[in-house]
Structure 1
Amino acid sequence: MDFEWNDSQPIYRQLRDRVVAMMLDGVLREGDPLPSVRTVAAEYRVNPLTVLKAYQQLVDEELVETRRGRGMYINAGARTLLLRGERQKFLDEEWPRICATIQRLGLKAEDLLDAASAKSAKLDSRKKER
């Protein structure tokens, strides 16, 4: 699996964010086990301690639980907790920049809605082609 590491953020944080994205996308669901530390370390060619640090961060955030001798599992309610946090993070950090760009470009709400509708229609047509 090819994955480009971003130099502006620690690898353990990028691994944590990748697991979070998988949870939000529904690839990993409540009760599912996380891939083993060794498997992830080998797949991404990183130190197992780096993977463990990423997983520990998920445990600290109460998104994942450790089951002694069995591994780590996604907690019930983890996706809901993540959505709440990620939505707030988006509104606090990304939305102000997006709003500033919208104002700078003189875009109107209907421009944005039209663009969103066109994008949605394009995605729908791709799904039908499969």
Structure 2
Amino acid sequence: MEFSEGKNIYVQIRDRLVDQILTGMLLPGDKIPSVRELAVDLEVNRNTVMRSYALMEQEGIVDNRRGIGFFVSSNARQRLTQDEKEIFIKQELPRLVHQAKVLKMLPADFKDLFDQLNENQNENKQ
């Protein structure tokens, strides 16, 4: 994983795990990597990973089973889908609509582009 500037590393780790939950790579009840394991894999401090896990636990995304590890919560995907939609609608979509207006794009252009991008992603998964 490559980290970008402008966003805390622990948040980027959380975002990566959230993406894995939303895409179905991690399912409810799945054990996520141990703090130590993920810290070694990502070459970051264990406290950084622990901070990510604590944030996700606070958000209700993961459950900490003392002595066993962290597991994806049973309702994590539904909760994340709702939260991420709200963030997209409030933050990303207004910028996208503004840029589309500036470029004089029409809603039909978006549908065609969306369909094309979706098709390309499906081909890349095969």
TM > 0.5 fold call: yes
Residues 1:20 and 2:18 aligned together: yes
Q: Deviations over 1:79-121 (max 9, x none)?
A: 0000000000000011110000111111111111122223334
2:50 aligns with one of 48, 52, 63: 52
Q: Distance in 2 between matches of 1:124 and 1:4?
A: 24
Q: TM-score, normalised by structure 2?
A: 0.93
In structure 2, the CA distance between the partners of 1:121 and 1:58, relative to structure 1 (3 Å rule), is closer
Residues 1:114 and 2:101 aligned together: no
State the match for 1:11 in structure 2. Answer: 9
In structure 2, the CA distance between the partners of 1:95 and 1:72, relative to structure 1 (3 Å rule), is same
Q: Distance in 2 between matches of 1:122 and 1:16?
A: 27
In structure 2, the CA distance between the partners of 1:59 and 1:126, relative to structure 1 (3 Å rule), is closer
Q: Distance in 2 between matches of 1:73 and 1:125?
A: 31
Q: Where do 5+ consecutive residues of structure 1 fail to align?
A: none
Q: TM-score, normalised by structure 1?
A: 0.90
State the match for 2:39 in structure 1. Answer: 41
Query: Following superposition, which runs of at least 4 residues in structure 1 exceed 6 angstroms of deviation?
Result: none
- Aligned amino acid, residue 48 of structure 1: R
Q: Distance in 1 between matches of 2:41 and 2:62?
A: 21
Q: SS of 2:31's equivalent? A: coil
Q: Where do 5+ consecutive residues of structure 2 fail to align?
A: none
Q: Deviations over 1:18-70 (max 9, x none)?
A: 11011011111100011001110100110001100000000000111111111
RMSD, aligned CA: 1.4
In structure 2, the CA distance between the partners of 1:7 and 1:126, relative to structure 1 (3 Å rule), is closer
Q: How many residues are aligned here?
A: 126
